[in-house]
């Protein structure tokens, strides 16, 4: 066991040195990597909402018990609240249409409305249960309306 621990520590420190070397090579091209990072980041948040919405769908279709209904809505709400800031920097590309930044005021309003709606639905689900929150959740999950105007087909 002792030998194993020593070995893995050596491996780990070797790994850190290797990472530092990689960083040194990667840094000069950081400007280009940044744009991809910004796009990846906003897509990660969207994918989070997508997975959680799919989980809600399973519960709404009675395939899965509703124990976690409020938690899934809260996860979507949290992602929705963080989403807007991931679009603030204008980085064209990904599946975003230029309209996101051309019509920023409208995009911002829609994202905030979406975020407020799903946050309210999550609160209702937590406090009063699934049945009380169903309509609010359906109404709030208006993902397609925004995609129609702001996401590439």
For residues 111 and 94, what is the distance between their CA atoms, to the nearest angstrom? 18
For residues 60 and 56, what is the distance between their CA atoms, to the nearest angstrom? 6
Q: Give the nearest distance from C-beta 89 to ligand HEC in angstroms.
A: 12
Q: Give the nearest distance from C-beta 1 to ligand HEC in angstroms.
A: 43
Beta carbons of 53 and 83 less than 8 angstroms apart: no
For residues 130 and 133, what is the distance between their CA atoms, to the nearest angstrom? 5
Q: Give the nearest distance from C-beta 66 to ligand HEC in angstroms.
A: 18
> 42-71 mask for ligand HEC (x: CB under 6 A)?
xx--xx-xx--x------------------
Question: According to the binding rule CB under 6 A, does residue 114 interact with ligand HEC?
Answer: yes
94 burial type by CB count under 10 A (0-12 exposed, 13-18 middle, 19+ buried): middle
Q: Provide the binding-site residues for ligand HEC, judged by CB under 6 A.
A: 39, 42-43, 46-47, 49-50, 53, 76, 94-96, 100, 107, 110-111, 114, 141, 143, 146-147, 150-151
């Amino acid at each position: 066991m002792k030998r194993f621990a020593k070995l893995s520590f050596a491996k780990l420190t070797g790994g850190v040195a290797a990472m530092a070397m990689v960083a040194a090579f990667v840094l000069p091209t950081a400007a280009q990597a940044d744009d991809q990072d910004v796009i990846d980041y906003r897509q990660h948040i969207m994918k989070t909402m997508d997975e959680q919405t799919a989980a809600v769908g399973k519960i709404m279709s009675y395939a899965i018990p509703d124990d976690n209904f409020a938690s899934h809505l809260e996860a979507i709400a949290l992602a929705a609240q963080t989403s807007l800031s991931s679009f603030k920097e204008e980085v064209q590309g990904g599946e975003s249409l230029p309209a996101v930044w051309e019509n920023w005021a409208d995009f911002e309003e829609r994202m905030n409305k979406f975020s407020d709606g799903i946050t309210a639905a999550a609160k209702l689900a937590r406090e009063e249960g699934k049945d009380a929150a169903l309509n609010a959740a359906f109404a709030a999950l208006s993902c397609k309306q925004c995609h129609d105007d702001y996401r590439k087909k």
